Structure 1
Amino acid sequence: MNEKKIFELLNNLDDDLAEKEINKLLEGVEIDMASINKKAHQKLNDSNKKGKRRKMLPYIAVVSIGLLGVTSAYAGDISETIKSFFNKTPIYSTIVDGDAYYLKERYALNDKITIESIMVSEGNLEMEITSDIDLSKLDEINIIPQNDPTTVYYPGGYSGEGKKFFFSFMNKTENNYNIKPFKDFKLVIGGDSYDASLEKAESLDLNSKIYTSSAGKSNIKGVNIGAKVIDENGKANIQIITSFEDKNLKLTSLGKPMESKVISTFEDLGKDGMIGSSTSSFCEPFYVFDETNAKYKLEIPENSKGRPVTTFETNAPIGKNLSLKVPALVASIEKKIVSIPLSIPNEGEVEVNKGIDFTVQKAVVKNIKRLSATSAQIEFELNTGANKNIDIRSFNLDSPDIKKMSAEFNDSKAIMTLEFNKSIDETTIELSYPEFVMNGNWSINLHEK
């Protein structure tokens, strides 16, 4: 197969197929790579001069760069960073992995309930409504995909302010967060049932200019950050794109948390369910700077939808050379890490010194102390791994024996107080959903080199 046929083949593929099958298609292909490399770069240059081109051009460039190891600046960005953004899809004010569907316009179900937004992607389903009906009177809320009527999603968590309510859903059928993207669905709310349909979100346009951070200047390996400048009313709004080499890591928020200490609580209410709380994850402001070093704060849009927010408003003018500074980000692993059997002393304290590998950082179960017949306290030493620029912010602890738990994470120590359903001498604890602060101090030049 020559390069002409390769170009014809790639240009006739849709983006999703190219993304999933590109490596398989290239196996055993005989092509003149020097010629393709030259043409790929020429096409990229033509794209910069003539405006928007077909989305397939970056794929062609990546084929050339990935096999030849081209060392030009822009080629390096494509091969190392931009390629990691292939699977990203902007939706509302956030960016998700893979396919995503959303409600294009607010949808009034009746004169009392209006859906403000819905977005669904792999592992994530969110809905925001306004309602004149009290939340307690809305009865059971279920979402049932039309293409999978045996699966039911229901709110695993919610928050509310006034008449506005935000719901985060989980899989009721499997009792987990296994959520698959869907277009058409039935919503059961307030005792009634409604049919609705969503729009498919367009994947990230890799043919537009994406500026990337210099990996060599970051304190965190395996984290890629890019940014796009979006012209909104003559101001430079910023869309930030992240990807992780560790596919289990998910972005929680951008910026450094305002509160370094995290206090969380949990209580099992039996038939009335479970309740919990945790310190806010709001982050400190971060900025773009112009050529005079004047700074412009990145603001979360007032009516932002979708979490985590990755598209920000600024007062920075369009057409200026800007530099984006991202001091830190918060990422999490949304799964169980380890189960640990623990013996509880009859009285006093015993050392445990059990190491825990949270993948990107480590910790140690230091000791366990008996407080009463039905309670104990566990101390953890945090951040014992090699990378001192990654801090464990928090993690979940669960056990079938626990009735109530309170935890305090502060710097390199965590103390958890557990209250049990009955007097016990041993238990098994499950550690899951760790959250990390990654202090990368990323810098991105939002202008041509």
Structure 2
Amino acid sequence: MNEEKLMNLLNSLDDDLVEKEIDKLLEGVEIDMESINKKAHDKLNSESKKIRRRKKGLYVAAACLAAVSVSSLYAKDISKAVLSFLGKTPVYDTIVNGEAYYLKDSRKLDEHFIIDSFMVSKGKLEMELVTDLPFEELGDIYIIPKDNPDIVYFPAGYSVDENNKYFLSFANKTEENYHIEPFKEFKFEIAGNTYEVSLDTAASFDSESEIYAADETDNNDLGVNMGAKFVEKDGKRMLQIITAFEDSKLQLDKLGKPKNTDVSSEYENLEKGGIRSSSTGVDTETLYVQDQSGKRYSLDVPKDAKGRPVTLFETKAPKDAELTLKVPAIVASNPAVQEQLKLAVPEEGEISIDQEIDFGIQKVKAKSIKRLSSTSASIEFELDTLSNDKVHVRSFGFYSSDIKKAEGKFDASKAVITLEFKEGTDAVNLLIDYPEFVIDGDWAINMY
């Protein structure tokens, strides 16, 4: 249909009818039609009545085209973001990637052991264990999948609370790495005893999941998609925050902006073998949702939350309120990074290193090494050498078998690692790994 025929058709229609049909067409599209109509009518009123109808048709048609274009672009962005969430799986109070199995209810093994929670997915295996036995009586702790008995998992780290509940994070003992594949049944060995445990299958998000997504155009250079959905759990309305990275090597450590930029970490090679290590935890600012009047409602971590990082929050926001979720920043890490630094330790004074280390979304530079004493030296790093003011290196791991002890201090712009070693040491090999980042995305998600 050419322009003349189109205009003849528009001219043959009643003006009020055209406006009503256009309103129907644009129903649900987020566009300021009142403003468009006002501007169109203002311009139309300045013309003669003879051409009024034709010009009105042109303006309405233009409004339609603009609205449809905006709507199509918006739908495309949202579809891409939501698509990145499909296949992610909520388990307890967290979210994992892909297939996952978990213990729906706590399992009492005997008078000494209760498995309070258990979850396994690709790359993640965690357990909460309650026991009245002291740690030294637990002996070797192993998990052996029933369908793959050649693979053995063992605790790579643990913490314990005042109620004798152990939080255990496992690694692959057979391959000596963190390669973990999900399984539904397993044997659990502890304190010389063996128990058989069967798990439940966790349901992943699918195309029917009602997920709200942040507008990708705000931070399309960060490679992070942010979404959220409402969840009913134990009679409470909860809010689940979903994060997807374009770089599959990245993982979420915590939601929110850290309260402090300074980080301290240390480790020690023990004489009897093994390593003792510790690091500053990530304490983040409270997240909020905001209604249309500007009133804010906090997102609170559930009591006895299970799974890390916590992505499911309680909120007292009214159910009928139109809410916007604000996520100013997140903390993420890259477990795949491993970089070896071969360093000569000067007999005295300081020497330049000037070696850059690529962490993917950000970089650091080893600047210099300085002799402090006959048994110690310090290494200085410049942080955030890649020009990206929205991604900051919070910390990274460091290890060397050539030293006794190491301590790292990180602030907003630099890191200093102090090494203690045997007298006569003139070189060290230092492994740099597991960088942790703060990503300032300032995401806003309209949940209506």
Q: Same fold (TM over 0.5)?
A: yes
Which stretch has the larger CA shift, 96-105 or 203-212? 203-212
Instruction: For residue 220 of structure 1, report the CA deviation from its aligned partner.
Output: 5.2
Structure 2 counterparts to residues 40-439 of structure 1, below 5 A: 71-78=72-79, 80-161=80-161, 162-218=163-219, 221-232=222-233, 236-421=237-422, 423-439=424-440
Instruction: For residue 422 of structure 1, report the CA deviation from its aligned partner.
Output: 5.0
Which stretch has the larger CA shift, 216-225 or 132-141? 216-225
Give the distance between the partners of 1:328 and 1:307, measured in 2 at CA.
17
Q: What is the SS of the residue equivalent to 2:75?
A: helix
Give the distance between the partners of 2:251 and 2:299, measured in 1 at CA.
21
Kept in 2: contact 1:322–1:445 (CA 8 A): yes
- Amino acid aligned to 1:300: V
Kept in 2: contact 1:215–1:221 (CA 8 A): no
- Percent sequence identity over aligned pairs: 47
Kept in 2: contact 1:219–1:441 (CA 8 A): no
Q: What is the SS of the residue equivalent to 1:363?
A: strand
Q: 1:225 to 1:208 in 2, by over 3 A?
A: same
- Amino acid aligned to 1:168: S
Q: 1:287 to 1:146 in 2, by over 3 A?
A: same
Give the distance between the partners of 1:344 and 1:399, measured in 2 at CA.
14
Q: What is the SS of the residue equivalent to 1:353?
A: strand
| Alignment match, 2:56 | none
Give the distance between the partners of 2:407 and 2:341, measured in 1 at CA.
18
Give the distance between the partners of 1:421 and 1:274, measured in 2 at CA.
17
Query: What is the TM-score normalised by the length of structure 1?
Result: 0.81
Instruction: For residue 250 of structure 1, report the CA deviation from its aligned partner.
Output: 0.5
- Amino acid aligned to 1:138: L
Structure 1 outlier segments of 4+, above 3 Å = 231-236
Instruction: For residue 257 of structure 1, report the CA deviation from its aligned partner.
Output: 1.4
Instruction: For residue 276 of structure 1, report the CA deviation from its aligned partner.
Output: 0.7
Kept in 1: contact 2:269–2:401 (CA 8 A): no
Give the distance between the partners of 2:155 and 2:209, measured in 1 at CA.
37
Q: What is the SS of the residue equivalent to 1:77?
A: helix
Query: What is the TM-score normalised by the length of structure 2?
Result: 0.81
Q: What is the SS of the residue equivalent to 1:270?
A: coil
Q: 1:171 to 1:91 in 2, by over 3 A?
A: same
Give the distance between the partners of 2:265 and 2:407, measured in 1 at CA.
6
Q: 1:422 to 1:151 in 2, by over 3 A?
A: farther
Give the distance between the partners of 1:282 and 1:112, measured in 2 at CA.
33
Kept in 2: contact 1:337–1:358 (CA 8 A): no
- Amino acid aligned to 1:418: L
Q: 1:232 to 1:120 in 2, by over 3 A?
A: closer
Give the distance between the partners of 2:268 and 2:445, measured in 1 at CA.
44
- Amino acid aligned to 2:95: I
CA-to-aligned-CA distance 1:220-272 (integer Å, 9 cap, x gap):
52100010012457764211111111111111110011221000010010334
Kept in 2: contact 1:331–1:436 (CA 8 A): yes
Q: What is the SS of the residue equivalent to 1:81?
A: helix
Q: What is the SS of the residue equivalent to 1:335?
A: coil
Larger Cα-atom Rg:
2
- Amino acid aligned to 2:97: D
Consecutive unaligned residues in structure 2, runs of 5 or more: 1-27, 29-70
Q: Size of the alignment, in residue pairs?
A: 379
Instruction: For residue 385 of structure 1, report the CA deviation from its aligned partner.
Output: 0.9
Kept in 1: contact 2:228–2:239 (CA 8 A): yes
Give the distance between the partners of 1:146 and 1:422, measured in 2 at CA.
50
Give the distance between the partners of 2:111 and 2:237, measured in 1 at CA.
39
Give the distance between the partners of 2:188 and 2:152, measured in 1 at CA.
10
Kept in 2: contact 1:361–1:383 (CA 8 A): yes
Consecutive unaligned residues in structure 1, runs of 5 or more: 1-44, 46-69
Kept in 2: contact 1:220–1:439 (CA 8 A): no
